[in-house]
Amino acid sequence: MPRNILILVFFIMAGFLLTLWLDQSRNYHKNQPQAEMTEQNSSSHPKIPDFEFITLDGQKHHIKDFTGKIVLLNFWATWCTPCVVEFPKLVDLVKGNNDLVLIALSSDVNQTAIEQFLLKQNQDTQESVRASNILIAKDNRGAITADIFQTYKLPETIFIDTKGRMARKIVGDTEWTSEEIKSFLQSL
């Protein structure tokens, strides 16, 4: 009988601590801004380090290959709810504009999850993703996401200007078709 009481007390305490932890976590996220935008002034834009990535179709690319174009380097994952919400919006922003390149770099562990995610997208998004200016890749072991860009909060998007420099970073989902974003892109 005393053993059963100890087990019951243990589970009550564990439930209390879990509830306390979840409540603190919820309050932390509630106080965080929806999307964090940081912008460097044009004279202090840091140069993006060169890195290599391989798209889902096996094509090898270097970030320096896109000099002369505006690049949206998006860090995302299929298990990240805000990433899933923003993905079609990013595709809509880039489609039909060959001066813009979207590099969607997924933190998913396996490529199958990414491919299944793409198959679940609406027909328009599925067709747009096949465009030459939309590149989807898996970041193997976080070599780019965490090691180069120290990105741990998804989604995160880095705007890279035509000279290969970081012009702005957005952490979280945003309204990608807003006038503010369109105006910023035109200023690059």
For the stretch 85-130, pLDDT in tens is 999 999 999 988 888 999 999 999 999 999 999 999 989 888 888 8
Do residues 91 and 151 both lie within one domain?
yes
Do residues 49 and 10 both lie within one domain?
no
Do residues 75 and 164 both lie within one domain?
yes
Report which of 157, 150, 168, 171 is spatially closest to residue 44, judged by C-alpha positions. 168
In angstroms, the CA 178 to CA 182 distance is 6
Structure-model confidence comparison of residues 150 and 24, the more confident one: 150
pLDDT at residue 44, rounded to an integer: 66
Does 168 score more than 80 pLDDT? Answer: yes
Q: 3-class secondary structure for 19-74? A: HHHHHHHHHHHHCCCCCEEEECCHHHCCECCCCEEEECCCCEEEHHHHCCCEEEEE
Do residues 23 and 64 both lie within one domain?
no
Does 135 score more than 90 pLDDT? Answer: yes
Does 43 score more than 80 pLDDT? Answer: no
Average pLDDT score over residue span 66-87: 95
CATH of the domain at 162: 3.40.30.10
In angstroms, the CA 138 to CA 167 distance is 24
Least confident of 19-28, 55-64, 164-173: 19-28
Structure-model confidence comparison of residues 54 and 35, the more confident one: 54
pLDDT at residue 2, rounded to an integer: 72
Residue 107 structural domain: 35-187
pLDDT at residue 20, rounded to an integer: 61
Which residue type does 10 have?
Answer: F
pLDDT confidence tier of residue 144, bands split at 50, 70 and 90:
very high
Structure tokens at 14: 């564990």
Structure tokens at 147: 């090691």
Based on the structure, what is the number of domains in the chain? 2
Least confident of 71-75, 158-162, 182-186: 182-186
Do residues 97 and 4 both lie within one domain?
no
pLDDT at residue 4, rounded to an integer: 76
Give the predicted TM-score (pTM) of the model. 0.76
Do residues 4 and 89 both lie within one domain?
no
Do residues 92 and 27 both lie within one domain?
no
Do residues 122 and 163 both lie within one domain?
yes
Does 29 score more than 90 pLDDT? Answer: no
> Alpha-carbon torsion 141, 38, 168, 44, what sign?
negative
In angstroms, the CA 174 to CA 155 distance is 10
For residue range 49-70, list pLDDT tens digits in order. 999 999 999 999 999 999 999 9
